[in-house]
Amino acid sequence: MRLAYQVRLYASSPTAKTTKVPKKLFGRPSNNLTSGIVGLANVGKSTFFQAITKSTLGNPANYPFATIEPEEARVLVPSAELDNLAKLYGSKKKIPAILKIFDIAGLVRGASDNKGLGNAFLNDIRSVDGIFQVVRAFKDTEITHIEGGVDPVRDLTIVQDELILKDMEFIENSIEKLEVQLKHKGNKQIHELSSMENQLEALNISYELLMEGQKIINKKDWKDDHIDALNMHNLLTAKPSVILVNVSESDYLSQSNEYLDDIKNWVNEFSPDSSIILFSADYETNLSNLDDSKSYESSSALPLIIQEMRKALNLISFYTCGDIEARQWTIRQNTSCPKAAGVIHTDFEKTFINAELIKYEDVKNLAPPFDEKTLKTKGKIQRVGKTYIVEDGDILHFKAAAAKKK
């Protein structure tokens, strides 16, 4: 006899989308994506890492390469929805989602030719899914700059050029190997040859983009099969980025900076999908030492920084709630209902039957305790199946069959 297994899930979305075929996304098809802090040597990366992780794992110092091996930490993802749902359900504890962050050693001009930490630095970037690019936009004679002076646009260009040059080198080698393989077809099946030809076409298009100084991710009209092919190669310029402009405390509080317009113009031309966030590494460090958490949350740039990286990585949240705990889970955009259930346990995906859907918008203003009967009476609960695409904030009650015992 098969038993029904039920699990409550909570996530956000205005309408149930079941018919539109989702567009392919660059990057790994994972719910556990990572980000790396990247920039020229000695621009405040490790100070930012310590502030965002509220730790002393980093190694900030007034000289290049203070960080040699990448440091790792996990930061909590801020969620007003989780806070609200925990109150609504009277949950005894809250478990927020996390974002894994690496502090990567500073880059120097010529890294693609193995100068500075060179290839090690670029390989560390290859291992993460998204890039926090820190650029210095404050003057301080006591803090040296590896290029001799403060010029954020120059620094942005150096980092991007090094990533582009490394991708070009990798693509050249990949194209050469594919051309040799296609020349000696041997007993390869038609689908193998077709896949190789598709890879070759995608790599050639990518190379032309890089020659123009553009990142691969900048192109808007990639075909789905080209995205699949490029995802196999984990290219540096196919990764999304968030530009973090490290400014003085006064500039952060006023949200102004003398270099900001030039930075915006550069980003619009060479990294148009990257968001730009002003922050002050020193100010964040001081804030993290305060006892008043409310003051910290209201004036810190860190919640916005974390959310912008999740947005860049196409990550969204759903929530499981009850009187024991309220928990935030992470999935990628375009995730189907069964795969969302599988984030909790693989058996839930394998034995998925259907789900009841409640919109977060329909419960966010409710006073505790949560009253499901009233929602049903008002027609606020829908039943969705395997084709439903979960959106940020949906509330789902999954029904799955019990797994068979071996």
Work out the angle at residue 362's Cα, subtended by the Cα atoms of residues 359 and 363, and round it to the nearest 5 degrees. Answer: 100
What is the distance between the alpha carbons of residues 60 and 43, in angstroms, rounded to a whole number?
10
User: 253: which 2 tokens?
Assistant: 């509080």
Per-chain mean pLDDT for the chain: 84
Residue 103 pLDDT more than 90?
A: no
Strand 71-76 and strand 98-103: pairing? Answer: antiparallel
**Bigger pLDDT: 305 vs 53:** 305
- In one-letter notation, the amino acid at residue 107 is L
State the pLDDT confidence band at 112, using cuts at 50, 70 and 90. low
CA–CA distance, 10 with 316 (Å, rounded to integer):
12
Average pLDDT over residues 210-216: 96
Per-residue pLDDT averaged across 3-24, rounded? 51
CB-based contact 229:199 (threshold 8 Å): yes
pTM of the model: 0.85
- What's the pLDDT band for 375 if we cut at 50, 70, 90? confident
- The one-letter amino acid code at 226 reads H
Question: Is 97 within 8 Å of 74 (Cβ atoms)?
Answer: no
- What lies within 8 Å, CB to CB, of 140 at 6+ separation is none
CA angle 376, 378, 9 (to 5 degrees): 45
**Nearest CA to 41 among 123, 136, 128, 132?**
136
Going by pLDDT thresholds of 50, 70 and 90, the confidence category of residue 66 is very low
Task: Using alpha carbons, select from 43, 56, 24, 76 the residue that is nearest to residue 310.
Answer: 76
Q: Which residue bears the tokens 């979960």?
A: 390
- What is the pLDDT, as a whole number, of residue 86? 93
Structural domains of the chain in order of their starting residue, each with its CATH number: 34-312 (3.40.50.300), 335-400 (3.10.20.30)
Alpha-carbon distance 95 to 65, whole Å? 36
Q: How confident is the model at residue 295 (pLDDT cuts 50, 70, 90)?
A: low
Alpha-carbon distance of 290 to 52, in angstroms, equals 14
Q: Of the candidates 129, 126, 131, 127, which has an alpha carbon nearest to the alpha carbon of residue 170?
A: 126
pLDDT bracket for residue 12 (50, 70, 90): very low
pLDDT of residue 108: 66
317 or 288, higher pLDDT: 317
* pLDDT surpassing 90 at residue 137: yes
**359-387 burial code (b ≥16 CB/10 A, e <16):** bbeebeeeeeebeeeebeeeebbeebeee
Mean pLDDT, residues 172-189: 86
Confidence of residue 356 (pLDDT cuts 50, 70, 90): confident
- Assign 63 a pLDDT band (cuts: 50, 70, 90): very low
